[in-house]
Amino acid sequence: MDHPTLLASLLIHCVLLATSASTTASEPSRIWVDDSGLHSVEASLQTIEEEMAVLIRPDGSTVRIPLSRLSVEDTDYVTAWRNRPASQPNVLRFAPPTLPELTPLPLLVLPRAATTLQDGFPLSPIASIRQNKQVGKTELPGPLQADPVPIKQHVPTGSKPIGPIHSYDVCSAPLVIASGEGTFVAFSICAGLSSTRGANANRIVRFDPETKQVSIVWSSDVPITLLDHHLPSGRTLVLEGHQVFGQGGQFAVAGDWDAASITLHEHRSLPASTNAASNRLTNAPTVRWARWVDEEHIVASVDSSMAVWNLVSGELKHWICNVHAESLPAISAGRRYVAVPDPGGVAIYRTSDGKALGRIPVEPGRIASVGFSPRGDSLAIVTPSQLRVWELSTASLRGEAKSRRSLGKGSPVWVDNDLVLSSNGVLLSIFRGVPVWRYELMGAAAASVGQNVGIIHRANDGGFVVATLPHSTASKAIDWVDQRLALQGTDDWQLPGRSSWSESGWDDHDLRFTSVRSSDRR
């Protein structure tokens, strides 16, 4: 995208001036994006002349871009550059921008059910109102209203052993649960193919962050998976009775949480799906992903289709799109948007009516991992070696970070407005454009829990951790990262260190900087 001939046709009024290779810039190299969000160039800021940003590319050529054509992020960068104290040394982007607090939108509520489906009966089949409304391959989303989390939860840090987790067991992402018993964290563990079976092989674990107590509130020889929790209503969505690889089973609602048990009600068998090749109904559909839209409606990926159902009445409200078998969608914090990866892109839809809102391209053939920020204003898009962040309100690329190490295939976790944790533990800074730390999360399941990160790990016979990231050593390393980037840029970038969890906290390894004492490494 940063080829000179391409930029000449894409960035209006840009003039590429040949200069000598000896030309240097006072700022480190970074990615600059135009106001359309479609075009970018790697360069460093040399100066501002006549309302033009004069940029130096790595090959020594000069790019002049009108300030009016810069993205919001780059406009903020130029403003900070202009306003910096004369005595302040040049460092990468100075500091992440302070983002304003967003006011949550009213709770999304779809039309309520007029009837109640009998317990155990199936949801309406997808084939009944399936439509052909796939997103165009080049139609980018327009500006969208931010969709912040409607209810913020505070979850204290803490850790607790939970007993052995077999390597083949499947752990759900930890969920923050709000009930009459208070606020706590829960997750499910399903026995894998080679796991030892028994009455407690499949279980739901509750962790109370205030008391640091762990209890098993559900155990069975039948698989059960926690899917989502709707904080405003206190209703928890589960899948029960499915096979090891996810086929079959039924949706249910978990409630009446206490320290030792839960109850399941509103059992709904899965909707029959259509075999596209034979156009006939097939048995044992597979739920690949499901989330609440409001306290009655769910959006779910069943086999190769995504749709919205009323769980109370069983009615199919609308079909949304086809879904690739490897796609793991994401829903925005306020439940208004759903992002669906496909080979070569990520499509965004409106949950209330299934309207296609646009598609963001990635590398051809790649199926990205995605996650909306808690602020509801940004979408993290992760491919094997790159993080991109799409800003909804400006319909533009907010930033990106590249990594030599694979970033995994699971959903990314937002740590704050700048830091994103990949599913395999690489901590990336959107602002700096590089990985800043690595946490050993092989085989772990992680998710945002309040302002912290919840991690189910298999080390030391299994345990659960609610941790504040970055931890002490990684925070110190980020200061070192800024200094290194100011000196060398992103060329030949290496992580400053990594950490693994132990009974005493984070153990740090392979430190590449010397400003940390051993007593600080927790």
What domains can be seen in the chain, in order of their start residue? 4-83 (2.30.30.700), 139-274+284-509 (2.130.10.10)
Q: Which one, of 255, 206, 249, 248, lies nearest residue 230 by Cα?
A: 255
Answer with the residue of higher pLDDT: 194 or 416: 416
pLDDT, residue 487, reads 75
Confidence class of residue 33 from pLDDT cuts 50, 70 and 90?
Answer: confident
List, in sequence order, the alpha helices (H) in 442-521.
Answer: 472-488
pLDDT exceeds 60 at position 72 = yes
Query: How far apart are alpha carbons 266 and 121 in whole angstroms?
Result: 10
Name the burial class of residue 206, with classes exposed (0-12), middle (13-18) and buried (19+) by CB atoms within 10 angstroms of its CB.
buried
pLDDT, residue 61, reads 80
pLDDT, residue 465, reads 94
Answer with the residue of higher pLDDT: 467 or 60: 467
Q: How far is CA 256 from CA 116, 175, 267, 295, in A?
A: 20, 16, 15, 16
Q: Which residues are paired to 397 by β-bridges?
A: 390
pLDDT exceeds 50 at position 174 = yes
| Pairing label, strands 182-190, 170-171 | antiparallel
Q: Which one, of 69, 61, 65, 72, lies nearest residue 50 by Cα?
A: 65
Kindly report, residue by residue over 389-399, the tens digit of the pLDDT: 999 999 988 88
Query: How far apart are alpha carbons 377 and 394 in whole angstroms?
Result: 9
CB contact at 8 A, 444 and 501: no
Unique residue bearing structure tokens 């894998």: 192
Kindly report, residue by residue over 235-279, the tens digit of the pLDDT: 999 999 998 777 899 999 999 998 899 999 999 999 976 554 444
pLDDT, residue 76, reads 84
Rounded to two decimals, the pTM is 0.80
Average of per-residue pLDDT across 482-491: 79
Query: How far apart are alpha carbons 227 and 211 in whole angstroms?
Result: 25
